[in-house]
A = this chain, B = another copy of it.
């Protein structure tokens, strides 16, 4: 396999693993085994585990913004909902790429780390700038959009969809938070969607 392809493959599996267990909770050996290669190769290809995580984070942020820009620039077609709702659906659809949401969330709780924290802040502000400058959201719209997005992410973080059916109050909470997107979320992150 070419180094470039291998690189992409490692970043793919690393996104899933970092999403599951975070930076400190994931070992380079787990990444290597998931990619079917040896641990030293992972380290040599990225230099350090931290650089690997930073690349994973950058890719996740890039995918997020790319998804948003595609929606923003695509013709509305038969979708007559406001842009907030359309971008929201795009955010949910990121569930299709394993680990993206949860890797981002892991980065967002690492503000204390001098390197990862700085990258996380930069990434979050980039998203803000997109909503303000490109999507032309008003401050109030930004606040609602980001708020709902973060509740969504945290509920993914605690794996509430994966525990669906075990606690009627938890199921009700999902209904309250995800509303009409509940079905989609359960399809993509519900029980049995595991790794």
Contact = CB atoms under 8 A, between A and B. Distances in A.
Interface string A110-125: 1111000100110011
Interface string A1-39: 000000000000000000011111100000000000000
A188 interface: no
A162 interface: yes
Contact of A109 (B149, B157, B162, B163): B157
Contacts of A102: 109
Nearest to A163: B121
Nearest to A140: B176
A180 interface: no
Interface stretch (A44-52, A61-69, A76-84, A167-175): A167-175
A98 interface: no
Contact of A169 (B128, B149, B156): B128
Given A120-B158, A158-B117, A109 B111 contact: no
A142 interface: yes
B143 A151 contact: yes
Nearest to A122: B167
Given A106-B109, A128-B173, A147-B150, 13 more contacts: A21-B113, A105-B109, A109-B109, A110-B157, A111-B157, A111-B158, A111-B162, A117-B158, A121-B167, A124-B173, A128-B169, A128-B176, A147-B148
